[in-house]
Amino acid sequence: MMLPYQDLHIYEISGEVLGSKRIFKEDFLGCWNEGEISFLFFSAPHDQEVQAFVRGKGLTLRSKDVLDYTSWQAGDELKPFKVGHLVICPPWETWKVEEGEGLVHLDPCVVFGTGYHPTTRTCLMALLEIYQKEKPKIVLDLGTGSGILALAAAKLGAERVLAVDCNELAVETASRNVLRNDESGRIEVKQGWAEQFIGLEADLVCANIHLQIVEALFGKRGFFTKRWIILSGIFVRDAEEIEERLNQNSIEIFQRFREKTWMTWVGLNRSCKGS
């Protein structure tokens, strides 16, 4: 099967674009809102349509870029790969599933979460380590991106997973991947901020997110009441401060993963009963 994305046509617009799926149809991949800037992604040029939209809304078209999809994914051609017995496979590739393997069909589109980034890969490794020890039933995946960690948790045995992202395009992408894997009975995808959901009941929280959001979560007691915590997206230079904060809140560092400049932790609160 041919890769569905060849060249990406990216339009940078000043201002937030909401409800983009109702506005653009043909060749439209989605809209990424980043503060006061929006990025419209198409698989073919739509200069006139975007310019007409911008004029009609009183916005400004800041730039247009054309980038091939492999370059967008940092030069990585998306192919099936394994982490332990989990197989992450793009839907345009094939994989013969062997006994004991868990298959995740994943189309990351243009959002974060291919599985190739060190933080995502080590989070997958962390999930495998936890599920070899215990079977957390309820999982909260904060900053779900493509939905890769939520899907991995479901394949490993989670009974309920809530996947959260503040970005509309990430929510759309994760929702499609949940349907593609026939996991809508176990995984729910919602749009919102991580700190809005951290107080919900969960045995395990996965948070592969920016340091600024981690600091906001540290201000919520609910973050430290989960039995298992997977925390990533943090640079090595900030590791000492993060570990100190975890220890102050009775979170034992069960395991550390360091890859390049990134850190991932598996935290364990032994005072919370396991599933």
In the prediction, which pLDDT does 2 show? 58
Alpha-helical (H) ranges within 45-188 are: 47-57, 69-72, 118-133, 148-156, 168-180
In the prediction, which pLDDT does 18 show? 85
Q: Which CATH number is 111-268's, of 3.40.50.150, 3.40.50.970, 3.40.50.11290, 3.40.50.300?
A: 3.40.50.150
Q: What is the mean pLDDT of residues 182-210?
A: 97
Residue predicted with more confidence, 215 or 3: 215
Domain borders along the chain are 7-72, 111-268
In the prediction, which pLDDT does 228 show? 98
Question: Of all helices (H) and strands (E), which one includes residue 205?
Answer: strand 204-208
In the prediction, which pLDDT does 34 show? 86
Instruction: Kindly state the percentage of the chain with pLDDT values over 90.
Output: 90
Contacts of 156 (CB under 8 A, 6+ apart): 86, 102, 127, 128, 131
Task: Tell me the C-alpha distance between 80 and 90, whole Å.
Answer: 6
Residue predicted with more confidence, 101 or 5: 101
Residue predicted with more confidence, 35 or 175: 175
In the prediction, which pLDDT does 174 show? 98
Quick: pLDDT tens for 259-272.
999 999 999 999 98
- What would the CATH number be for the domain defined by 7-72? 3.30.70
In the prediction, which pLDDT does 74 show? 87
Q: Is the pLDDT of residue 111 over 70?
A: yes
